[in-house]
Amino acid sequence: MTSRRVLTIEDDAAIRRGIVDALTYAGYQVCESGRGDEGLQMAVQRNFDLLLLDLVLPGAGGLEILKAVRVTRPTLPVIILSARGEEQDRVAGLKLGADDYVVKPFSVKELLARVEAVLRRSPERPLDTDLTPFKGGVADLARREVRFEDGERAELSEREIELLRYLVTNPGRAIAREELLANVWRISPQGVTTRTIDMHVARLREKLRDDPAEPFVLLTVRGKGYMFAANS
């Protein structure tokens, strides 16, 4: 089972280090940022199972980040990390859709308990994408193949599986090529050509029998990227 991915945006280096160490020891995959502007970019461009969000940050405030996250990931679990004197901001955060808050200073035990509780009750779970149906067939990612109603099959490469899985877990959302490079290829998009994304999408369409002129499974959103059609 893949461990849950957590993004923590906290400008206090000591607190952030403690959070990262505690979550990593507990088996989570953790990404971190000490700035609001950088954290905002990570929160909306990458895939996470939980966001731990400080409210007072350089570059962009926590409430600004929360608003942006609720647009792109409306059900992503969010826990606010706040100082005792920020009650008004905590209330504002909860009204914006935060799932819980932890008041500083907090113990590692309390933080882990709240993280586990929010993840248990959250509707945001990794989708069961091993079997992804589409018009005329099904993509069986566990068996690494596409099967069609007429009995034909097409084998999928490891990269094609990862690309399709990422698109499927974000149905109905246009995903930029740079985001795919960061999350599927796991490389920085800076200075890297995105032509490889287009080539892989073209091959996937061919295997899905998805007409490149009028695709119905993997859609091209002009000026934005690619999107898996939720009702394909």
> What CATH number is attached to the domain comprising 193?
1.10.10.10
Give pLDDT tens digits for 11-21: 999 999 999 99
Quote the pLDDT of residue 147.
92
Residues 69 and 138 placed together within one structural domain of the fold:
no
Q: Say if residue 155 is in the same domain as residue 201.
A: yes
Asked if the model's pLDDT at residue 179 lies above 60, the reply is: yes
Same-domain status, 181 and 162: yes
Decide if 21 is inside a domain.
yes
In this structure, are 43 and 146 located in the same domain? no
Give 192 or 179, the one with higher predicted confidence. 179
Preceding peptide of 105 cis, ω within 30°: yes
CATH of the domain at 41: 3.40.50.2300
pLDDT at 193: 66
Least confident of 55-64, 89-98, 172-181: 89-98
Claim to verify: residue 15 and residue 114 sit in the same structural domain: yes
Predicted confidence band of residue 126 (pLDDT cuts 50, 70, 90): very low
Per-residue confidence (pLDDT) for residue 189, from 0 to 100: 67
Same domain, 148 and 223: yes
The C-alpha atoms of residue 15 and residue 212 are separated, in whole angstroms, by: 49
Q: What is the pLDDT of residue 122?
A: 66
pLDDT band for 127, please (50, 70, 90 cuts).
Answer: very low
Query: Of 98, 121, 144, which residue is a domain's last?
Result: 121
Give the DSSP letter string of 26-57. TT-EEEEESSHHHHHHHHHHS--SEEEEESS-
SS3 (DSSP) at 134: strand
227: nearest Cα among 171, 186, 181, 178: 171
Question: Taking 90 as the threshold, does the pLDDT of residue 219 lie above it?
Answer: yes
Angle made by CA atoms 157, 232, 193, in degrees to the nearest 5: 45
Which pLDDT score is estimated for 10?
A: 96
Q: Which DSSP category does 105 fall into?
A: S
121, 142, 165 — which closes off a domain? 121
Same domain flag for 106 and 143 = no
pLDDT value at residue 14 = 95
Range of the domain at 85: 5-121
Tell me if 34 is assigned to some domain.
Answer: yes
Q: Which residue, of 69, 97, 121, is where some domain finishes? A: 121
| Structural domain count of the chain | 2
